[in-house]
Structure 1
Amino acid sequence: MHLGAAPVLTAQDAFALRRSARAVADLLGADGQDAVRLATVLSELGRGLLGAERLTAAFDLLPGRPTALRVTLAWRGGHRLPDEALEASARLLPTCHEHGGGDGLVRVEQRLGPGPEPGPELVGQARELLAVHTGTSALEDSRAQTRDLIAALERTRAQREELRRLNRELEETNRGVLALYSELSEELEETNRGVVALYAELDEKSRQLREASEAKSRFWANVSHELRTPVNAVVGLAELLRADADAPPEERGRQLSLIADSGRTLLALVDELLDVAKAESGTLDPLWAPLDLRAVLAHLDGTLRGLARPGVELRIGPAPEVPGALLGDETMLVRILRNLLSNALKFTEHGSVELTTRVEEVRGEGPLLVMTVTDTGVGIPADQHERVFEEFYQVKGAHQRGRRGTGLGLPYARRLAEILGGTLRLDSAPGRGSTLTVRLPARPAPPPGPRRGVLVAVDDDPAFRDVLRPLLHEIAERVVETGDGAAALSVVRDARPDGIVLDLHLGDVDGYQVLAELRADPALRGTPVVVLTSASLTAADRARLSHARAVLPKSGLSGGRIAAALSAPRPAAPRRPPSSEEGS
């Protein structure tokens, strides 16, 4: 759509062209900077074409989205547009230059705003502006250009500030993105570590399941044989007795003796299995009492000497000289040594089996009771040292012929040693026998001494308090009783006793809570506590009772057992063997 045209013959016409172009561009919706840019380009081109013959400037409105304003400068004759003016114009706006036959043409286009195409009213106003196209003086044009330059500089400065602000925001955003990326990377790495750990745990669980399955298979293979042998003997001999009613008394007595022996073997095996189960579940507790080592060694010598093969000497050394008696669990100690000695006698065909006992001072640990069982048997390869302490495992070989067993002896002995706060170590090699060393804390038993001053008994069962009362009076001058767990702490603070006997299962405030409160009170923390219970305890229960000196069953109590338990130190945590050759 043609808007109008104007001649450009003088410098004043060039100034007027600049002013008209800006006014029309502003009117038709061009951005302020775009209007200045168009005016500047036409001013530059007009000055470069001054003197050209019949130079005119035509304004046209080009429809589209967006609408554009096109200005065409045309001239006649041989005048040429300076290259500098053309290059400067092309840097600001799209410029098209044509020249031929002595005539010239240059077009520039400026896009208007994003709004709708200008209506007839605006087009009419634009035409009126072009119709009154008049020249201005050079001074006025210079002032107008200066104003435009100042405005452009202000806009440039504002844009620069805005750009700086945007750069700061971008930098802040980048820092946030980097921090988020770092955090996500750490979380991903942590997740990956967790996944790796989970896979490792799953592999470990799978290995444990395989080992458990193998142990179960060994258990059924060994235990079924061990149980079937005495049961078959009992059944077979009983059938013989029933079938041969006329057998001589001597023969019948021999058969009855064999039945009794098989029954005792069966009972011992069942007891051993039950004890192993108790040790595994953490419900086997030591009963601390003064320990007579001489009596223990004499008992072992009397009961095991008959198990030695012809040509094998059983030597049990004397008990070490120690001041007074030691504190320990005689039953557990006998079971440990009996298992070690009977195992050594089973696999020793020539030579000797020897048990020596000594007390050894160890810096930082105090005195240790060291018991060593040495044999001249077949020996155990190094790669089997760990496995012989697995339940139901037996080293394969010709030495097993005629010597089957459950595979529980060594694992059970080690577990008992750990319960007593000690260790069991194996040193062996094929052809040179084996040495098994038990180290236990050598705790001196308290001397009988005077009776205790005051004991506090906490139990909510009046009938059991009647049973407990005379036992406590055997070892204390005064006994203070309470059946309320909530009031126990107040009673203890008032009485300041030499010891506390605490029932585990009370009312609203049970023995666990009472024990925890005693442990938390610095004034009462050192008071020895013995816990009494008739219930089975889980491993978690026992962990909560670690502050107690001992946990005793309510059945079979005596004043001496309670006194020994109150005098005992708290059992130390089981220590692991220091080398890879020691069992676990």
Structure 2
Amino acid sequence: MSAAEAVTLATVTVRNDHDVFAMRGMGREVAAAAGMSEQDQIRVATALSEVGRDIVSRGGAQESAEVAFLLEHKDLVVAVSPPPGGHSCNADGVKMALRLMDEVKLGDPDKLIMRKRLPGRRPPSVDQIRAKIGTFKPVSALDELRRQNLELASTLEEVRQLNTELQETNRGVMALYNQLSVELEETNRGVVALYAELDDKSLRLRRASDAKDRFWATISHELRTPLNSIIGLVRLLTGSGAQPLGTEERHQIDLIGSSAHTLLDTVDELLDMAKAESGRLDPHLTLIDLHRLVEDLRLSLLPTADSTRIRLTVHLPPPPQRVLADEAMLARILRNLLANSLKFTEQGEVALQVTHDVATGEIIFTVVDTGIGIAPEHLAHVFEEFYQVPGPAQLRAKGTGLGLAYARRLAEAMGGTLELTSVEGQGTTATLRLARLSDVPVVNRVLIADDDDDFRAHLRRMLTGLATYIDEARDGEAALRAMRATPPDVALLDVMMPGLGGTALLQRMGEDKRLHTIPAILITADPVKHHPDLGVAVLGKSALRRDTLLRALQRVLEGKGGPV
């Protein structure tokens, strides 16, 4: 509502101190009639007193100011037309009014407009307000002073009550704080006890792991000797210089020899599993002729397949075809996969297919069978040690449940992956991805800086075939020393390391003339999106794969950064 729509409720002329008291009283009466609370009535009256005092102190005896009380929509408006000389926004009265009223501003010309909002409920009508203030009579200064003293006493009583309530609240807050402090202290004691228990369990696990490693090392030694003796005796009994044996005798001796070979292979698998867990299963990489390797496997496995019911087929790309891998490890993996497929396939086909993934430069070995398949609830457990998929009793008796777990360990040791898919009643597909198809590494020298020994070993296996030389450092300072001694072509830096982390290490490298040109890849356990583009490639630890690492190396060598 504009000023033109405002309705005048009352007017007061101010010339002297007595008029100031009258204006104050009128302001309080109007505020009360308009439905304001007692506190708002006091605020309006006080603001008018301060402004009136300024008017009297600045004007002469003959000067006067007109004060109009208006109702504008839901606002009580006080318009003060000043005497000659006007008002000053820096005047003490105006400053006080700014604190007490909802709005104070100077109109034109120099008219002071003070505004106070009425309560949210519907205000009385103009006629009702005029009727209430029509009986107002100005009081003397002493009466006004007495009224102010009563207001002050009332306000002090309210302050005292508020102070009492505040003290009660403070006591409640302190009681709650003390209770929370006790609970927090108890929680802290529980956390400390939990950490102590975890440390104790970690120590027990390390001791158990060490004991297991010692057990496998001992058992492998103790079992190998008698098993090799049994195998040697079987050869003597069935060799060309041995005494003639009957058919049943030769069959029984062959069974003894076969069982000894099986047991010896199991001991070797268990020992290699222990080595893999401790990070000591290091592959010896060479360039392997795939055609020769696969043909040897096919010929060795043909006697185990019923050629009348099962076809064993091999599909290879045209020669020459070579792969960088540990020949013994690769042969064990493929033999394991093919033997499993032949064992669980009653009729149909077992096929080995070798392909080259151009995008990642990997060799893919796929073993597909038309066997009994694996139910979905068992498929997630097939790579667990000693786990055997439920099936016919005669098939379960042929295995130990170590084959697939052992094969995956070997694949990971060579920086590859082994996955299994299956449909119950239709067959199983095993997919092995291995080293890049090339005898030329992507990079000559790589430095790995990470405080996690296991993750460094994991990265080292992934870099097999991608890098000629691999250096390692446990922290940022050690990485700086290694880089200054032998600058790498690429640095893999863990973001979170004790002392000097990956990003701080990058800054130190940038300040060194010898190191500032070395490309770097940040490795982080956090989501990659949480790290800004620092001009380097950024990899997440949780989903790191060989193909992802390869792309990152190619990007930084091309001078590209950012998340991979």
Do these two structures clear the TM 0.5 threshold for a shared fold by scoring above it? no
Q: TM-score, normalised by structure 1?
A: 0.40
